[in-house]
Amino acid sequence: SDPILIKGGKIVNDDQSFYADVYVEDGLIKQMGEKLAVPGGTRTIDAHGQLVVPGGIDAHTRLQAPAAGISSADGVFQGTKAALAGGTTMIIDHVCPEAGSSLLAAYEQWRSGADGQACCDYGLSVDIPRWHESLREELEALVKDKGVNSFLVFMAYKDKLQCTDSQMYEIFCTIRDLGAIAQVHAENGDIIEEEQKRLLELGITGPEGHVLSRPEEVEAEAVFRAITIARQANCPLYVTKVMSRGAADVLAQAKRKGTVVYGEPITASLGTDGSHYWSKNWAKAAAFVTSPPISPDPSTPDHLSTLLSSGDLQVTGSAHCTFSTAQKAVGKDNFTLIPEGTNGIEERMSIVWEKCVVPGKMDENDFVAVTSTNAAKIFNCYPRKGRVAVGSDADLVLWNPKATKIISAKTHNLNVEYNIFEGTECHGVPTVVISQGRVVLEDGNLCVTQGSGRFIPRKTFPDFVYKRIKARNRLAEVHGVPRGMYDGPVHEVPASVKAVAPGAAPRMAPCAGKAAAPPVRNLHQSGFSLSGSQADDHIARRTAQKIMAPPGGRSNITSLS
Amino acid sequence: MADRKRNWNKEDDLPVYLARPGTTAQTPRQKYGGMFASNKTIDFDAYSVGKKGSRTPRSGSRHDMLDGGDNYSETASDISEISGSVISSPGDREDKTPGVEIKYPMGKELLQGQDNGQSDRLLIKGGRIINDDHSFYADLYLEDGLIKQIGENLIVPGGVKTIEANGRMVIPGGIDVNTYLQKPYQGMTAVDDFYQGTKAALAGGTTMIIDHVLPEPGSSLLTSFEKWHEAADTKSCCDYALHVDITSWYDGIREELEVLVQDKGVNSFQVYMAYKDLYQMSDSQLYEAFTFLKSLGAVILVHAENGDLIAQEQKRILEMGITGPEGHALSRPEELEAEAVFRAITIASRINCPVYITKVMSKSAADIIALARKRGPLVFGEPITASLGTDGTHYWSKNWAKAAAFVTSPPLSPDPTTPDHLNSLLACGDLQVTGSGHCPYSTAQKAIGKDNFTMIPEGVNGIEERMTVVWDKAVATGKMDESQFVAVTSTNAAKIFNLYPRKGRIAVGSDADVVIWDPDKVKTITAKSHKSAIEYNIFEGMECHGAPLVVISQGKIVFEDGNLHVNKGMGRFIPRKPFPEYLYQRIKIRNKVGGLQGVSRGMYDGPVYEIPATPKYATPAPSTKSSPAKNQPPPIRNLHQSNFSLSGAQIDDNNPRRTGHRIVAPPGGRSNITSLG
């Protein structure tokens, strides 16, 4: 591609802004400064009065719905095109394997789907639909060889994707050992299922049932639980799709308590609210269906953008996953069947600007941080992405804070008939977008090449996240109390009782080996065999050891004072 | 209270012997006058109650004290085997606090003697009656196990045994809402059975307990209830009621619950979020259980800890080679308690049912409750004696037996500021009730887990110490007043569990469960003198201000001067009705206003996407892969799946229907309800 010189723009990084020219060649930023010596034939773009920001990173998209069933209305090509049109030059798409199928196979499928289609760089994050021990090796392979460093677990979608707390703990421990990021879809699937049942019984079948069955406290509860589990496992946690006040507040509090946790509000939760679920127009109402749902509380976008500005939430995604009205209509008689997902990939940057920068909640540097830099740091592609610096990828956006644009389905670059931000006026739009050193958007014209997007492998142990985790790991060691052996009397447990339920406490629980061997995989048991002591190793020993009056008298460690 | 008393002591210019309140012993009538004017006493005997005259019970009693108590000794020794002639005089006379004295009617009333000196009729004179709302000076007349009259100058029949309260506080007997006096563990039960345990309760000023029926998983609730009922009936010395713990959610449990609520007088049930693979219920089960219990009007008790994570942590800690009691605390960090509390509240608030968290042991759990209450859900929290009185640092004790004695779940928080915090929340009303979780095991029993902390039977003492600990930590420190003390030790529990105003209040018609409380008495808690059968008291050495002087249960004096007069089996089962107003009034209104309504729309008649036929189970959303029915059925009980069959709509009822409905281009064109824009 031709070398490009961007002249006269104000460079905005997450830490500072300054005026400089930028010289781009071979897809990289080669020089920055004033009065750059550039070779002939260099194309010059005048950026006076505009901001030069690092291209946006959309940390959450689902452009390829599962192979079976309904595929998303916007494929990878259409989706990445829309991304570029909105100033996003990299996406992290989610691989969603069929439950029980191989993660690696699904990964390969996504790669092959994206490689020929994507017109911007992309990374992949892999969802873990159902946990079993053998996935451990797959995770390791994905992390070591495939450039994936983030995995998502579901706390919702009961009986389909949902993980139990034990599984989450095991997954988190594995992820921590691998140096990856644990992402979580946080909603309490058990409660949702019961609520769905109840609402359908009440005869509520429209899209409003979706939000009624997934109230925000159910989201907050799951966020709280995920944080608790992550703390126990000392694993960094990334909560995708923060949709409600409650959930965001829980995150903010946890952060205050020192948990390594990141929250990702999405375009939809920042830009609109859930009152539309009650729209008389079924198609419109259905277009908003996503999970967790957009909060019906109209003050939510404001609250989330405040937390985003204050640093309590760090990253913005879009969770872009669109379905046409006809596809949504699969659930016209039952809201639980409506395919879930909203648009947002194209609108993300503009919405964040409009909701956060225009009202003065954040400055342009913060804007860069939440739309690009933080994501690059967390997902370990910094400073290659997320920064305007010499040596970084030439993914640049010329942002015009004075231009305005009205979002509408008529003008968006998507296939869906309905845009959930319809009619929103945004101040601040990308005028020129440069991806891999090529101008892809100029004067409102998109000029993309199908398949030009590269897969960006991401390394493990991102410093931004893991420095703290490593330090805590070292500190977290616990030690027992060195005591003499207890040699006092021991109550003799009648042998017969052993077979009966053990009694009061989780006595038998820890000894995995002792439960009746389950022919199916028991999700509640880990496959760890306990080396060393088992919970009832002692039962045999104990009877032998029973010393009511030890020969040397009772030692004083057992004496009661 | 103490202050106030001191004040009036000064104001009224009481004799020297009243000038030093706050010392231990009840008092003394002494050489320089004694406490009771004998003529007065005799007047009493001859029934002349009314003469106290204008107000001031204390001046009356002071007057009464003016003469030697010799008469009394005689009287008392005549009638009963109570040690000491006057209950209130434990011997030495050097302490100058006015004590409580019990006067027995002379001669002719000796017919009461066969009752161990415990008359059915009792007059408490000159006490300050404390209810949860206010306090006042009045006399109290008890008969037939009920409070018959309150006021001054009561007209009471002759031959009434009289207690001179001398301005002491008269409070409703405590209600201990959480005891496990017959908790089975590996074929053994806790060392304090209903007899031993209720004796201890009475000695501490608690006149009613609510014990937990803990059925073995899989066994019938009703059978277990009957077992507990029988054991308690024969052994209990104080009134009792029973909670039933739901240890598994099985077919037919609904009918049993209904029977328990309708016919058996049980209105509270506990569910467990911990004890994985044993008692633990999944969120779905909790939802079902809560829904059903709400329809019965029951109180839902929750043992809140995340059992899944505990199991993982236990495994990890055992693998690290930590086998001592400190492993118990390490494997159950307070976050796991807080998490479960949060979850329980979330589920309950979805269902709009009240939820009661038993054993609030940590700051974070208590804070979650406090926060939730501010948002509106009906949540109640019960700290226990142990969490209010001590902390979990003892798990690290070098003395295994001592460390093991503290093992209970959720564990005591190792954070030493916890008791203070919990007391503050209790004082401000964010926590409402105090229990004891009393379930002590002997050291030998605890030693079953000497090589593995997960085997240590769980439970601490606290039934006897509860009232005293709350007084010492909350009232004596100025966090709460006496009325709040009554509320958290008795009244709130009575309201929540629908015993009010029969219990939990001093009012005409209430049960005569009354405690005369001495705020100044200082008592050192020690295993040497406690009533429990265990060797170790977790509050060992704690010096507590405030203790009961006289405890009256069912109108009978059961404890005075350190002596218990109880009979096995004298406690009655107190049935409790469902739908306690204290909880359900609000629930009912919320039910009415909280109704959900759908949006009335025209039918959607636009195009409908056709799902390819082959992947039948690939469901619409990107997220839903396989239909629920397709999961391999686990032969072991899957705690996360309910075994309810769903009547009514199922999620995939519509699957077959859908293909039939497909109208890609409806004949009449698209109606405008689907038009976009």
Give the tens place of pLDDT for each residue, B239-269. 999 999 999 888 889 999 999 999 999 999 9
Residue B105 pLDDT: 61
Q: A interface mutation test: which of B624, B630, B663 has the most A CBs within 10 A?
A: B624
- Interchain CB distance below 8 Å, B599 and A65: no
Q: Which of residues 451-480 of A touch B (CB under 8 A)?
A: 478-480
Flag whether pLDDT at B449 surpasses 70: yes
Residue from the list A70, A486, A532 with its beta carbon closest to the beta carbon of B611: A70
Report the C-alpha gap between B192 and B465 in whole angstroms. 14
Give the tens place of pLDDT for each residue, B349-363. 999 999 999 999 999
Which chain A residue is nearest to residue B663, measuring alpha carbons?
A326
Angle at B123 between CA B122 and CA B127, to 5 degrees: 135
Min distance A551 CA to chain B CA atoms (Å): 17
Give the tens place of pLDDT for each residue, B396-439. 999 999 999 999 999 999 999 999 999 999 999 999 999 999 99
**What is the layout of strands, in order, in the sheet containing A43-46?**
A28-33, A21-25, A4-7, A43-46
- Interchain CB distance below 8 Å, A506 and B634: no
Residue from the list A157, A191, A224 with its beta carbon closest to the beta carbon of B350: A191
Flag whether pLDDT at B523 surpasses 70: yes
Flag whether pLDDT at B468 surpasses 50: yes
Q: What are the chain B neighbours of A199 within 8 Å (beta carbons)?
A: 596
Which chain A residue is nearest to residue B314, measuring alpha carbons?
A510
- At B46, the amino acid letter reads A
**Measuring CA to CA, which residue among A51, A17, A122, A88 is closest to residue A433?**
A88
Please give the domain boundaries of chain B with CATH numbers for all domains: 171-589 (3.20.20.140)
Using alpha carbons, list the distances in angstroms from residue B92 to B27, B80, B550. Answer: 8, 21, 18
Task: Look up residue A504 and give its DSSP letter.
Answer: S
Residue A299 pLDDT: 94
Compute the Cα dihedral for B259, B261, B265, B270 and give only its sign: positive
Q: What are the chain A neighbours of B343 within 8 Å (beta carbons)?
A: 188, 221, 224-225
Q: B interface mutation test: which of A64, A228, A422 has the most B CBs within 10 A?
A: A228
B422 vs B638: which has the higher pLDDT: B422
Q: A interface mutation test: which of B407, B609, B616 has the most A CBs within 10 A?
A: B609
Q: Which of residues 248-307 of A touch B (CB under 8 A)?
A: 278-285, 291
Residue B591 pLDDT: 87
Min distance B277 CA to chain A CA atoms (Å): 6
- Structure tokens, B632: 């391999």
Beta-carbon contacts of residue A311 (< 8 Å; ≥ 6 apart):
none
B142 SS3 class: strand
Domain ranges of chain A: 52-474
Q: What are the chain A neighbours of B248 within 8 Å (beta carbons)?
A: none
- Structure tokens, B533: 């059968």
Residue from the list A330, A512, A558 with its beta carbon closest to the beta carbon of B400: A558
- Interchain CB distance below 8 Å, B677 and A195: no
Min distance A396 CA to chain B CA atoms (Å): 32
User: How do the pLDDT tens digits run along chain A, 561 residues long?
Assistant: 689 999 999 999 999 999 999 999 999 999 999 988 888 889 999 999 999 999 999 999 998 876 446 778 888 999 999 999 999 999 999 998 887 788 999 999 899 989 988 999 999 999 998 888 888 999 999 999 999 999 999 999 888 889 999 999 999 999 999 999 999 999 999 999 999 999 999 999 999 999 999 999 999 999 999 999 999 999 999 999 999 999 999 999 999 988 999 999 999 999 999 999 999 999 999 999 999 999 999 999 999 999 999 999 999 999 999 888 888 888 888 999 899 999 999 999 999 999 999 999 999 999 999 999 999 999 999 899 999 999 999 999 999 999 999 999 999 998 888 999 999 999 999 999 999 999 999 988 899 989 899 999 999 999 999 998 888 888 877 788 888 888 888 887 765 544 334 334 443 333 333 333 344 455 555 545 445 544 554 444 444 444 455 455 555 454 444
- Interchain CB distance below 8 Å, B324 and A483: yes
Q: Which of residues 340-369 of A touch B (CB under 8 A)?
A: 340-341
Q: A interface mutation test: which of B182, B183, B186, B406 has the most A CBs within 10 A?
A: B186
- Interchain CB distance below 8 Å, A69 and B346: no
Q: What are the chain B neighbours of A96 within 8 Å (beta carbons)?
A: 622-623
Confirm if B606 and A283 have CB atoms less than 8 A apart: yes
Q: What are the chain B neighbours of A510 within 8 Å (beta carbons)?
A: 311, 314-315, 318, 454
Beta-carbon contacts of residue A526 (< 8 Å; ≥ 6 apart):
A133, A166, A170, A512, B312, B315
Using alpha carbons, list the distances in angstroms from residue B446 to A210, A496, B404, B616. Answer: 51, 19, 6, 56
Flag whether pLDDT at B546 surpasses 70: yes
Confirm if B347 and A191 have CB atoms less than 8 A apart: yes
- Interchain CB distance below 8 Å, B606 and A324: no
Residue B614 pLDDT: 52
ipTM confidence score = 0.80
Q: Which of residues 151-170 of A touch B (CB under 8 A)?
A: 154, 156-161, 164-166, 169-170
H-run or E-run covering A288: none
- Structure tokens, B117: 């000196």
The torsion angle over the Cα atoms of residues B398, B404, B408 and B409, rounded to 10 degrees, is: 70
Indicate the pLDDT class of residue B24, thresholds 50, 70 and 90.
very low
- Interchain CB distance below 8 Å, B278 and A418: no
Contacts across the A-B interface (CB distance below 8 Å): 404
Residue B65 pLDDT: 40
How high does pLDDT run on average in chain B? Answer: 78
Residue A497 pLDDT: 42
Q: A interface mutation test: which of B183, B362, B368, B625 has the most A CBs within 10 A?
A: B625
Min distance B606 CA to chain A CA atoms (Å): 7
Which chain B residue is nearest to residue A526, measuring alpha carbons?
B312
Report the C-alpha gap between B176 and B206 in whole angstroms. 7
Q: Which of residues 177-196 of A touch B (CB under 8 A)?
A: 185, 188, 190-191, 193-196
Confirm if A399 and A10 have CB atoms less than 8 A apart: no
Report the C-alpha gap between B258 and B295 in whole angstroms. 10
Beta-carbon contacts of residue B414 (< 8 Å; ≥ 6 apart):
B329, B391, B392, B393, B395, B396
Which chain B residue is nearest to residue A157, measuring alpha carbons?
B624
- Interchain CB distance below 8 Å, A329 and B599: no
Beta-carbon contacts of residue A267 (< 8 Å; ≥ 6 apart):
A316, A317, A318, A319, A320, A342, A343, A344, A345, A347, A348, A351, A352, A421
- The CATH label, of 2.40.50.180, 3.20.20.140, 3.40.50.720, 2.40.30.260, for the domain at A52-474 is 3.20.20.140
Report the C-alpha gap between A181 and A179 in whole angstroms. 7
Q: What are the chain A neighbours of B443 within 8 Å (beta carbons)?
A: 488-489, 558, 560
Q: A interface mutation test: which of B180, B224, B350 has the most A CBs within 10 A?
A: B350
Confirm if B644 and B288 have CB atoms less than 8 A apart: yes
Which chain A residue is nearest to residue B642, measuring alpha carbons?
A190
